[in-house]
Amino acid sequence: MEIIRNSEIEIEKGDKIALIGANGKGKSTMLRIINNSEPFEGTHEWGYNVVPAFFAQHQLEALNLKNTLMEELQHHAPMETDNTLRGLLGAFLFNGDDVFKK
């Protein structure tokens, strides 16, 4: 199945992108391609200092449901400071004591 042909995109820091479409139209496939976890023809190039991360739609099975939000992030990003992790959670509207929710 061809998803995109002869396309080019540059995503800048702070940009927000939405993939919208009906089920089965390739949104998850596109994200797996970007993540290099799906074979594809073509190339893509990460920018300087980019650290790619991928959170699949069926990721729940990979989470430890006994952990709080902060504990789970600390487990997966042990080199990041608590302030950085709180900032990330804040971007998802988890503020204050919300970061200690399971």
Could you give the C-alpha distances from 28 to 15, 57, 59, 70, in angstroms and in order? 19, 8, 13, 26
Alpha-carbon distance 96 to 41, whole Å?
45
Q: How are the residues of the chain apportioned to helix, strand and coil, as percentages rounded to the nearest 5? A: 35, 0, 65
pLDDT tens profile 30-68: 888 888 888 888 888 888 888 777 777 777 777 888 999
Tokens at 82, concatenated: 């608590």
**Residue whose C-alpha is closest to residue 31's, from 10, 45, 52:** 52
pTM listed for this prediction: 0.50
Q: What percent of the chain lies above the pLDDT cut of 70?
A: 94
Domain ranges of the chain: 1-53, 63-102
